[in-house]
């Protein structure tokens, strides 16, 4: 991607309402833009990070054997009456009366819909176990939105629902998810602790929270629940077990705040100059910095290196803006791309590319002809380290 063809507006000043470092840096690095209280646009650079996180979540869900689908955000209130939760949910749930006078709502969670799906389509023990998941935008009218996209009114969530024949099956499904969650957060560069938690309006007998520690504030990024038969009993989701008797499906549910992972990563990966992306979730792997585009040798090598990286499937951002080297460096630090390839003084003097490793703040000099291979090797090594 060429910076001049991209939309990446950086700024020096954080927004006035920003209290935590991730909110400040996400705004300054042109990742998000506030539209209303707790409502944000993801600018392209921020959306790339979100998509990388989403991909890790999807890969690890698929690895467990969970099956992806998509339920609607719009839901009829009637299903929530059936589960008994319509009155339990407070003002956080967005409700409206549609043009045909039916009460509708925007589901802050989806136990009702998925339970309805299973009761309509599964009737034998042979069809169990099954775990279904979705990655979907959710809406909650938060009393006090804050911390940027951390506590927002519109956010991206992964929610999974397991249906088992019995408690033993639930235990297995639950443990699979617990392992998957550990892998997801580790791959994203998050250091999480697992804490027993209150199950709240979701319900069930037991739940655990995954809390990202990068120092203050602590961020809840995942929450997994053993629901038992709460929903299958109230919504009559029974199947015929192997002995021919009717039994309620035994459920679990498992949430990840996908859009919350991005600020959690930044909370734990920054310095006084900006973001320090882990390679696994960085919007781009490589930043190309030609210090002076008017120098034909520099811009020529820049174009060549950019082309070579793209041809090798490396996502590179080429800073082709007509601005000073100093501004390029300070923007580079702010947006925090893991590897930089600087084409400047060392190049004109002795034909070397200076590769900066952002997290170590270290420069390595590499001959022009070896730069692409060096970068590919570095990226592959890092990938091997973070692949579990």
The residue ranges that bind a second copy (CB under 8 A) are 5-7, 9, 33, 35-37, 39-44, 46-47, 50, 65, 67-76, 91, 94-96, 98-100, 102, 104, 113, 116-117, 120-121, 130, 132, 137, 139, 141, 143, 153-154
Question: Cβ-count burial of 223 within 10 angstroms (0-12 exposed, 13-18 middle, 19+ buried)?
Answer: buried
H, E, C per residue of 74-104: EEEHHHHHHHCCCCCCCCCCEEEECCCCCEE
Choice between 122 and 197, CB closer to a second copy: 122
- Tell the smallest beta-carbon distance from residue 354 to a second copy (Å): 28
Choice between 76 and 217, CB closer to a second copy: 76
Sheet holding 94-97, edge to edge: 74-76, 103-106, 94-97
d(CA 351, CA 346): 6
Choice between 48 and 352, CB closer to a second copy: 48
DSSP classification of residue 71: -
Choice between 75 and 372, CB closer to a second copy: 75
Rama region for 57: left / alpha / beta (φ>0; ψ in -120 to 50; rest): alpha
- Tell the smallest beta-carbon distance from residue 144 to a second copy (Å): 10
Angle in degrees, CA 322, 46, 75, rounded to 5: 150
- Tell the smallest beta-carbon distance from residue 346 to a second copy (Å): 29
Choice between 8 and 221, CB closer to a second copy: 8
Choice between 152 and 355, CB closer to a second copy: 152
Choice between 174 and 210, CB closer to a second copy: 174
- Tell the smallest beta-carbon distance from residue 189 to a second copy (Å): 22
Q: Where are the alpha helices (DSSP H) in 107-152?
A: 111-121
Paired strand residues for 151: 146
Residue 377 CB: number of other CB atoms within 10 A? 11
- Tell the smallest beta-carbon distance from residue 51 to a second copy (Å): 8
Question: Cβ-count burial of 368 within 10 angstroms (0-12 exposed, 13-18 middle, 19+ buried)?
Answer: middle
Where do we find the tokens 């063809």?
5
- Tell the smallest beta-carbon distance from residue 373 to a second copy (Å): 26
String of DSSP letters for 39-59: EEEE-HHHHHHHHHHHHHHHH
- Tell the smallest beta-carbon distance from residue 80 to a second copy (Å): 12
- Tell the smallest beta-carbon distance from residue 179 to a second copy (Å): 18
Choice between 117 and 295, CB closer to a second copy: 117
d(CA 359, CA 363): 11
d(CA 75, CA 232): 18
Q: Taking a C-beta distance cutoff of 8 angstroms, is the pair 231, 83 a contact? A: yes
- Tell the smallest beta-carbon distance from residue 69 to a second copy (Å): 5
Distances (CA, A) of 268 to 94, 191, 271, 280: 33, 8, 9, 14
Choice between 95 and 346, CB closer to a second copy: 95
Choice between 117 and 299, CB closer to a second copy: 117
d(CA 268, CA 219): 11
- Tell the smallest beta-carbon distance from residue 379 to a second copy (Å): 21
């Amino acid at each position: 991607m060429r910076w001049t063809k991209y939309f990446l507006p950086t700024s020096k000043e954080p927004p006035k309402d920003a209290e935590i470092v991730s909110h400040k840096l996400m705004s300054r690095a042109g990742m998000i833009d506030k539209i209303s209280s707790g409502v944000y646009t993801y600018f392209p650079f921020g959306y790339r990070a979100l998509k990388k996180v989403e991909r890790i979540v999807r890969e690890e869900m698929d690895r467990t054997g969970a099956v992806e689908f998509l339920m609607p955000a719009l839901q009829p209130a009637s299903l929530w009456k059936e589960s008994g939760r319509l009155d339990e949910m407070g003002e956080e749930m967005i409700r409206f009366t549609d043009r045909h006078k039916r009460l509708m709502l925007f589901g802050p969670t989806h136990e009702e819909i998925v339970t309805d799906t299973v009761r309509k389509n599964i009737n034998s023990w042979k069809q169990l176990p099954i775990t279904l998941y979705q990655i979907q935008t959710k809406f909650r009218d938060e009393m006090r939105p804050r911390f940027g996209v951390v506590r927002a009114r519109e956010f991206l969530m992964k929610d999974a629902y397991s249906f088992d024949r019995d408690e033993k099956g639930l235990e297995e499904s639950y443990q699979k998810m617990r392992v998957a969650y550990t892998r997801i957060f580790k791959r994203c560069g998050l250091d999480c602790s697992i804490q027993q938690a209150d199950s709240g309006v979701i319900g069930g007998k037991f739940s655990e929270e995954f809390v990202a520690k990068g120092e203050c504030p602590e961020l809840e990024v995942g929450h997994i629940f053993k629901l038992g038969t709460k929903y299958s009993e109230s919504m009559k989701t029974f199947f015929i077990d192997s002995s021919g008797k009717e039994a309620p499906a035994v459920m679990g549910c498992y949430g990840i705040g996908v859009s919350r992972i991005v600020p959690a990563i930044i909370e734990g990966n920054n310095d006084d100059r900006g973001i320090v992306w882990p390679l696994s979730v960085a919007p781009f792997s490589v930043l190309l910095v030609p210090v002076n585009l008017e120098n034909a040798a520099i811009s020529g090598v820049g174009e060549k290196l950019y082309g070579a990286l793209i041809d090798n499937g490396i996502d590179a951002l080429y800073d082709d803006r007509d601005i000073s080297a100093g501004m390029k460096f300070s923007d580079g630090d702010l947006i925090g791309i893991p590897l930089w390839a600087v084409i400047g003084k060392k190049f004109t003097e002795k034909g070397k590319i200076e590769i900066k490793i952002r997290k170590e703040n270290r420069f390595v000099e590499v001959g022009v002809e070896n730069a692409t291979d060096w970068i590919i090797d570095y990226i592959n090594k890092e990938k091997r380290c973070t692949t579990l």
